[in-house]
Structure 1
Amino acid sequence: MCGISCVLSLSPSQLVLDKNIHKNLRKRGPNYSENITKTASSPYYQCLFSAHVLHMRGCLTPQPAQDSNGNVLMWNGEVFSGLTVRLDENDTDVLCYHFSAYNSPTDILSVLANIRGPWAFIYYQQTGPYLWFGRDFFGRRSLLWHYDTEKKTFTLTSVAACLAAHSQWQEVPAVGVYRIDLRAFAESGSLTFEVYPWIHAGESLSSVSHKSKWEAIPNNTSAVMNISGLSLTSPVCPMNMSIPLLSKDVEHSKISQASVEELEVLLESGRRKIVVNSLINVLSEAVRRRVQCLPFDTQIPSPPKSNEAAIAILFSGGIDSMVLAALADRHIPSDKPIDLLNVAFKLPEPKIQESAKKGRKQKAKSADSQTDVADSLEYSPFNVPDRITGRAGLQELIVLNPERRWNFVEINVTQKELHEMRQKHICHLVHPLDTVLDDSIGCAVWFAARGIGLIAEGNGKRGFTSSAKVVLTGIGADEQLAGYSRHRVRFKTSGHEGLVQELAMELDRISTRNLGRDDRIIGDHGKEARFPYLDEDVVCFLNSLPVAEKADLSLSRGVGEKLILRLVAKQLGLGASALLPKRAMQFGSRIAKMENSHEKASDKCTRLLTT
C-alpha cells in the first residue's frame, strides 16, 4: 500500500505539496518516499509526483516508478490475481512493465480490468502526453481530487487535510478510469476529463447509468465520455434481480425460535447446503489471498518475529468477523498468532441508587443491598456490547483451534483521548466525508486499527501493541446480505422486489459511503486494509444468487438477515456467534454514547471541523 499524490499546474512557480497532506501521505507509506517533477515547455505545464511506500511484497520498489521512456507510475494496490505476480516480484514492477510494453489506451484498460484486488493509480504517459488515474471497481483504495481555478492547479491524493469548512476536496468517483490530455489543458487552460467507464460484459457504452456520478467533478472542470468508445469490463457479474414466487419456504414450518438448531434445520435442504459449501470455498480462497500475500512470505528484511502476528482482524465477535477469523485460521500456520482488535469507548459511571447511599450511611444493609454494591464495584466502564460479544467469540475460536494464540486486544478509549485524536488526526482522514456516522465509524476504526491496548496474561493484563501490517475488515457482508435494519424496513414496505433494489444500490454506493474513508483511516497507521467480502469472486458468486438464498427477512432477527453467512458459520463449527443480530459499530463500541444522543447519523458533524 502507498500514499500517492500528483499536482498538475500551468504556473511556472515551483510546485510544493501542502505540508499537512505530505505528513498524512508519509504515515501511509513509511518505508520509502520520493518526489519527482515532470515539465514541458511548449505548451508549458508541470507535474509533481509524490509517493510514499508501505512495502508489502517482493523487493522494495521505489515510487514514483519511472521507465526508460519517461513514463511515471504511482500504484497503491494489490494484485491478488488476474495478472501473474510471482512471490519474488513486486506488483508495481509488473504494472510498469505492462504499461510500458503495451501503451495504447486499449492495452492500459485491459491490464487494469484484468486485475483482481484493490487499487488506485496515477500514471503519466509521456507519449501524448496524458495523465491517467482512477480507482478499482469497488473503490477500495482512496483517491481524492481538487481543482484550484485561480491557480490553475489540479491535485490528486490518497489523503488530504481538512483545513477549512469550505474545503473543495472530493472523492474520485469509482465509476471508471480518467485521462487528462495535458497538451490540450496547457493550450486552453480548461481542464477536461475523458472517462473510460466500467461496464458489464455484453453491455453497450450507451447503457452506462453512472453519468450522474462521473459528472460529480471538481468545480470549473468538465467530463466527457471518451470518443473512442472504450471501457473497462466489470470484474463481477450483474446482480441477480429475480424474486421468489412465494414469500416463505415450507421448511419454515419447522422453525420455532432463533437457535443453533434452527440453522441445522435450514441446512437440511440439499440445495442450500451446496450453496453454503460453495460460498465457504470462494470466501476461504479470498481470505487465503489476503493472509498469504505478506512481507514475510518473500523474505524481505525485518519479517515479523515468530511471536508477533502479521494479520489482525477488526473484531466484535459478530458473524462477519467470526467467519473471517475462522477462515484465516485455515490458512495461517497454527504457531502464528492472530490479533483480534476489539475497541470500546468508556461508558459513564453508573449512578448508585439512593437507597444504597442511605444504607452506607446507616452502615447496615440487607443482603440484596450488599449484592448490589458488590456488583457496582465490579463494574467496568469498557464492558460495552462489542467487548462482551468479542470475549464470547474468542472462546469459540479457542475451541476451534486451541493451539493458536489468539491475541484478544482490548482497545479502551476515553473521551479525552477521543477528542484529542479526532482534532489532531482523524478529522483529516475522514474528510471530505462529514456526517455524524462518518465521525463515529471513522474514530472507532482508527483506534481499533492502531492496535494499542491490553491482552490477558495470567490472571491479569498487560500493555500490547499489534504488530500486524494487514487488517482484515468485514465491510461488504451487510451490504450484500441484507444485514442492516433499513433492509428489513424496505422488505416490510416493498417485499423482495424492494429489497433487491436496495441491495443493488448498496454495492453501487459503497465506494462513497465506506471504502475510501476506511482506507484513509487504516492506512494512517502504516497498515493495509483488506476486504475479503469484496473479493471479486465472492461478489460475483453472491451476485449470481437470488436474494432469497442470501437472506430471508421473513425469519427472526439474528437468523434471517445474512442467513447464508450464518449457515456458513454453523458449517465452520461456530456456535452462538452465528445468531448474533447485527449491531452497528458505533453502537456496539458505544462511541455514539459519548456524544450528542439526539444527533442523526446523516447530520453534518461539527466535531470534524478543525479549530
Structure 2
Amino acid sequence: GPDMNQTVIKDISYSSGTVQARMYLYASVLQMRGGHVARQPREDKVGNVLLWNGEVFDGPVEVCLFVEEVDAGSMDQKKRKVGEVLCRMEGPFAFVYYEVGEGRVWFGRDGLGRRSLVSIQPTERGSEGRAPLFLASVSPGMGEEVKEVEAGHGIFYIDLNEWMNLGENEGIHLFHRPEPIMLINQAVLEEKELATADGLERIMKSEKGPNGLLDAAYDEAIKGLYESLHKAVSRRLIGLGPVEEGRGRVAILFSGGVDCSTLAVLVDRILGKDESIDLINVAFENPRELRAKGRTEAGAEGWAQVPDRRTGLVALENLARLSPHREWRWVEVNVTYAEVEAERARVERLMLPSRTRMDLSIALAFWFATRGKGNMWRVHGKEGIERQRNTAPMTDYISRARVVILGSGADEQLGGYSRHRDAYDRGGWTRLVDEVQLDVSRISSRNFGKDDRIIADHGKESRLPFTDAGVMSLLASLPIHIKCDPRLGRGLGEKLVLRWMATYMLGLGEEVSGAPKRAIQFGARSAKMQGRWERGDDPL
C-alpha cells in the first residue's frame, strides 16, 4: 500500500551463539480503517513480529496473536494455540508471523486463498550454498521459481532450527485446518419430485414469482440468500474511511451481469444516499475484431458494441430506476491495443506464478478496470440516463475508491459455468452435484490470489461478498435443483436462486436477472486478440 512502509531486521541464532541467518520483514500499508495508519511490521515487547494483509470478519476472540495465553504452556501447546487461532479466523487474509521464543515462522492464507502470498526460491545461492527463501504478496519478477502458497488445507510454519541445519526444504510443516473442504448438499430428487421445466419458466416470467407456487424450500432459499448476502456486503462496507467530497469510497467492477448487479443494489441499500458509487465498465480494442470489420481502431461505435458495455448500460438503467437519488458514476474504461502492449510485461509479472493466455486475458481486464481511468458520467434517475446518452463525459476521470467489489465466487457455487451444464448432460443431477462440489473444493486454488495481486497494484483492495462464510454455508446447504436447473435455458437455469432473488427481492428487470453468463475476458474482449486459434490454456 502507499500509506507507509517499514522494515524490521531479525538475526537468527538458534543452534549456536553465532548469527546463522538474517530475516528481513518488510511491509507497505494501505490504510483502510481508523483515523491513523497502523504501522507494520507489528512487533511486541518480546520480539514477535506480525505482517498482516486482510480483514477478520469472524472467529475466535483472541484474534490478536500477541496474547498472553499463547505464552503459557508447553511448546506443543503454544504451537497448537497459534495454529488454531489462525485457522479459525474468518475473512480474507495472508500473513507472516515470527514467533521469536519458539524459533518459528508462521505463514499462510485464509482457507479460500483470497489474499495473495507467494513463495520464491531464487536460483542464485548465498555465500554458504543455501538459497534464501522469500515470502511475499507479489513476485519481483526476476526469473525466480515462484509458487502460490497453498491455502485450502491449512497454514504453514518453519522450524528455523531444522530449516537452517537440515537443508533447504526441511523444517517446513503444515498445520492442518480442522475442516479444509466445505461439503455441499448431496441430495438429488427423483425427476417426478421436481417441478417441471415448463412450470418453472412460467413462474420465472410471472410478476408474482415462486411465492406460494412452489415448494416452500424455494422461498426460504431466496430469503436466506438475500439475508446472508446483505450481511456479507454490510461487513465489507465497514470502516471505509471518512467521506470526502468528490471521491466515492466504493467501486464495483460492473459488466451488467446478475452477480455484479445484485451486489450494486445491495451496496446501494447499505451505503449512505449522499455517497456516489463508481460503476467501472471495461472494454478492449481487439485487433482480431477490428480486422474482421475492416477497421484500424475501435472508435465510438466499436466501444459501444463490446458485449459488456451493452449489458452494463442496460443494468445501469435498472439501477437508476431503482435508486434515482443515488449518484451512480458510470466509468467507461476503453483500453486500446497500444495500451495493452505497453502494460503487458507489468501485468505478466504481477500474474506470476500464473502463466497462461487465459490468465493474461483475465488479468488485463482486472488491471485496467481497477486502475479506474476512463470517461465518467454522473447518472441520477431516468434523466441521468438520457444525459449519459447525449452529453460529453468527464474525460480522464480516475476512480479514487480504495474498495473494489467483485462478484467472484458465485459461479463456482451456483452452477454458473458451461461445464456444469455439460456435467448434467453427461450424467444428470448426480454428475452435476459432483462437478459443483469439485469447484467448491478447489476454489482456494483458482484465481483469487492472482486477482488480489493485480488489484493491489493500484493501491486498492478487493472485496468478495459471495465468498463470505455465511453465504457459502447457506449455498452449500441448498439442494442442487434450487441452486441451478440445467433443464432451463441459458440465462435461466444457471444460478437459479440468485436470479430469482435479483428479480423478486431486488427489483432487477428480466433483461438483467436473466442475462446469460459471460466470462469477463470475452465480455470485455481482452481474450483472443491475435486470432481464434489462441487457446486459454496455452502457456505464455
Same fold (TM over 0.5): yes
CA distance in 1, matches of 2:372, 2:210: 39
Report the Cα offset of residue 198 of structure 1.
Answer: 1.9
Q: Tell me what 1:208 maps to.
A: none
Q: Tell me what 1:427 maps to.
A: 348
1:537 aligns with 2:482: no
Show the 5 A alignment for 1:284-433: 284-296=230-242, 304-347=243-286, 348-349=289-290, 379-423=301-345, 425-433=346-354
TM-score by length of 1: 0.78
- Which among 453, 456, 475 is matched to residue 523 of structure 1? 456
Report the Cα offset of residue 262 of structure 1.
Answer: 8.5
Question: Which amino acid in the other structure matches residue 461 of structure 1?
Answer: P
Report the Cα offset of residue 80 of structure 1.
Answer: 1.8
CA contact (8 A) 1:257 1:556 kept: no
TM-score by length of 2: 0.88
Give the secondary-structure state (helix, strand or coil) at the position aligned to 2:174.
strand
CA distance in 1, matches of 2:192, 2:368: 43
Q: Tell me what 1:53 maps to.
A: 29
- Which among 74, 80, 86 is matched to residue 57 of structure 2? 80
Number of residue pairs matched by the alignment: 504
- Which among 69, 77, 99 is matched to residue 46 of structure 2? 69
CA distance in 1, matches of 2:212, 2:300: 42
CA distance in 1, matches of 2:69, 2:441: 29
CA distance in 1, matches of 2:317, 2:238: 25
Q: Tell me what 2:537 maps to.
A: 602
> CA separation of 1:411/1:148 partners in 2, compared to 1, >3 Å: closer, same or farther?
closer
CA contact (8 A) 2:87 2:154 kept: no
Question: Which amino acid in the other structure matches residue 173 of structure 2?
Answer: E
Report the Cα offset of residue 582 of structure 1.
Answer: 0.3
CA distance in 2, matches of 1:491, 1:465: 44
1:156 aligns with 2:130: no
Show the 5 A alignment for 1:78-157: 78-83=55-60, 94-97=64-67, 104-148=78-122, 150-151=125-126, 152=130, 153-157=132-136
Deviations 1:304-341, CA, capped at 9 Å, x for gaps: 41332111111100000000001111110111011111
CA contact (8 A) 1:254 1:265 kept: no
Structure 2, unpaired ranges of 5+: 379-386
> CA separation of 1:536/1:478 partners in 2, compared to 1, >3 Å: closer, same or farther?
same
Q: Which moved more, 1:96-105 or 1:505-514?
A: 96-105
Q: Tell me what 1:36 maps to.
A: 8
Show the 5 A alignment for 1:162-561: 162-164=141-143, 167-174=144-151, 175-190=153-168, 191-200=170-179, 237-246=182-191, 249-255=194-200, 260-261=205-206, 264-265=209-210, 268-269=213-214, 270-296=216-242, 304-347=243-286, 348-349=289-290, 379-423=301-345, 425-456=346-377, 458=387, 459-463=391-395, 464-561=397-494
Give the secondary-structure state (helix, strand or coil) at the position aligned to 1:159.
coil
> CA separation of 1:280/1:452 partners in 2, compared to 1, >3 Å: closer, same or farther?
same
Q: Tell me what 1:7 maps to.
A: none
- Which among 498, 501, 514 is matched to residue 565 of structure 1? 498
CA contact (8 A) 2:105 2:157 kept: yes
Give the secondary-structure state (helix, strand or coil) at the position aligned to 1:199.
coil
Report the Cα offset of residue 352 of structure 1.
Answer: 7.8
> CA separation of 1:189/1:394 partners in 2, compared to 1, >3 Å: closer, same or farther?
same
CA contact (8 A) 1:67 1:100 kept: no
CA contact (8 A) 2:203 2:210 kept: no
CA contact (8 A) 1:243 1:546 kept: yes
CA distance in 1, matches of 2:539, 2:275: 43
Report the Cα offset of residue 432 of structure 1.
Answer: 0.7
CA distance in 1, matches of 2:167, 2:531: 47
> CA separation of 1:81/1:256 partners in 2, compared to 1, >3 Å: closer, same or farther?
closer
CA distance in 1, matches of 2:269, 2:515: 23
CA distance in 1, matches of 2:300, 2:134: 54
CA contact (8 A) 1:144 1:171 kept: yes
> CA separation of 1:194/1:387 partners in 2, compared to 1, >3 Å: closer, same or farther?
same
CA contact (8 A) 1:259 1:579 kept: no
Give the secondary-structure state (helix, strand or coil) at the position aligned to 2:145.
coil
CA distance in 1, matches of 2:530, 2:231: 40
Deviations 1:74-129, CA, capped at 9 Å, x for gaps: 011101223569xxxxx8xx444478666812221232233221111101001121
Question: Which amino acid in the other structure matches residue 287 of structure 1?
Answer: V
Question: Which amino acid in the other structure matches residue 393 of structure 2?
Answer: K
Question: Which amino acid in the other structure matches residue 306 of structure 2?
Answer: V
> CA separation of 1:468/1:100 partners in 2, compared to 1, >3 Å: closer, same or farther?
farther
Question: Which amino acid in the other structure matches residue 276 of structure 2?
Answer: P
Question: Which amino acid in the other structure matches residue 379 of structure 1?
Answer: E
Question: Which amino acid in the other structure matches residue 248 of structure 2?
Answer: A
Question: Which amino acid in the other structure matches residue 274 of structure 1?
Answer: E
Deviations 1:209-248, CA, capped at 9 Å, x for gaps: xxxxxxxxxxxxxxxxxxxxxxxxx5x8522222222277
Question: Which amino acid in the other structure matches residue 46 of structure 1?
Answer: R
Q: Which moved more, 1:465-474 or 1:489-498?
A: 489-498
Deviations 1:501-539, CA, capped at 9 Å, x for gaps: 111221222232210100000011000011100001111
Give the secondary-structure state (helix, strand or coil) at the position aligned to 2:172.
strand
1:582 aligns with 2:532: no
Report the Cα offset of residue 596 of structure 1.
Answer: 2.9
Deviations 1:5-59, CA, capped at 9 Å, x for gaps: xxxxxxxxxxxxxxxxxxxxxxxx1111111111123441221111111111234
Give the secondary-structure state (helix, strand or coil) at the position aligned to 2:171.
strand
CA contact (8 A) 1:430 1:520 kept: yes
CA distance in 1, matches of 2:536, 2:338: 22
Give the secondary-structure state (helix, strand or coil) at the position aligned to 2:50.
strand
Structure 1, unpaired ranges of 5+: 1-28, 86-90, 201-233, 297-303, 354-375, 606-611
Q: Which moved more, 1:188-197 or 1:534-543?
A: 188-197
Report the Cα offset of residue 573 of structure 1.
Answer: 0.7
> CA separation of 1:268/1:595 partners in 2, compared to 1, >3 Å: closer, same or farther?
farther
Report the Cα offset of residue 594 of structure 1.
Answer: 2.2
